[in-house]
Amino acid sequence: MHDMGRGHPECPERLAAIQDRLIAAGLWDFLLHVDAPAAHLEQLLRVHDADHIDRLAVVVPARGYAHLDADTAVNPYSLRAAYHAAGAGIAGVDLVMNGRAHNAFCAVRPPGHHAEHDKAMGFCLFNNVAVAVAHAIAEHGLQRVAIVDFDVHHGNGTEDIFCQNEQVLMVGMFQHPFYPYSGDVPRGANMLNTPLPRGTTGLQFRDAVLEHWLPALDAWAPELIVISAGFDAHLEDEMSSMGLIEADYAWVTREIMKVAERHAQGRIVSMLEGGYDLSALGRSVAAHIKELGEF
């Protein structure tokens, strides 16, 4: 019920497209389905300012829409959706850390990786991945968590929250220059940003992962990997100008899983970020989940 108006690309149909594709691919019935709980205030406060949370509560309208910026709007149901989106990552962490699942994919809206510690932006209200990582550290005692972000846009919010954090390594690729026009100069030694030019192909993406991400991840030896899984670098997605296809998302998922097996007992929590061409999104998420589930 969270929508941002007619024609907005971050629309409710995104999750329907994913479900439809998982059913068509024969995967849906083989998955453990878990309803996302709402995140608690104290869990959000680990990564967000109290003023930011209060501002969101005030701005949500009783009817219609309220705009936070040119791209980001809320309706009466948006804040509830955001609490549950953040709660999905927490539940996913608990599932894998307690051994109830080998890994988890959180099909959530709104996305999160643009939300900074004190600001909503870029379709994002709370930083879902950051909330999950902070929960893993605070409640499960992890000392080394890795974030992998392959959304076509730089995860500026995640970098804002965790730059200089000695318990977190973030590796990310993104089209540059492109919204939010950041990331080319990392804000901390724990931020391995890989800007890629428009027109980047899947082969060039794979080369960057092999050259930059995988050595850094192995050196870090993470105890848990959390993925900002954006699928908007797809060749068919008009929100960007890159050339990835489903096979590239399947490949990078396998490579991340190999790192997780070597260092993190296989534990991965993946959270949906971007991806706005509905057909490409559904196919790409299905390829991602097929690898995560080792089907």
| Residue in 6, 10, 63 with CA at minimum distance from that of residue 231 | 10
Identify residue 96 by its one-letter amino acid code.
V
Task: For residue 169, list its beta bridge partners.
Answer: 146
Q: Which of 114, 154, 263, 288 is catalytic?
A: 114
| Residue in 80, 84, 158, 163 with CA at minimum distance from that of residue 122 | 158
Token pair recorded at residue 144: 């080394």
Identify residue 113 by its one-letter amino acid code.
H
Contact by Cβ (8 Å): 162, 170: yes
The DSSP string of 2-38 is ---STT-SS-THHHHHHHHHHHHTT-GGGSPP-PPPP
**Strand ranges in 53-190 using DSSP code E only, listed in sequence order:** 66-67, 73-74, 103-106, 145-149, 168-175
Is 114 a known active-site residue? yes
Q: Which residues are catalytic?
A: 114
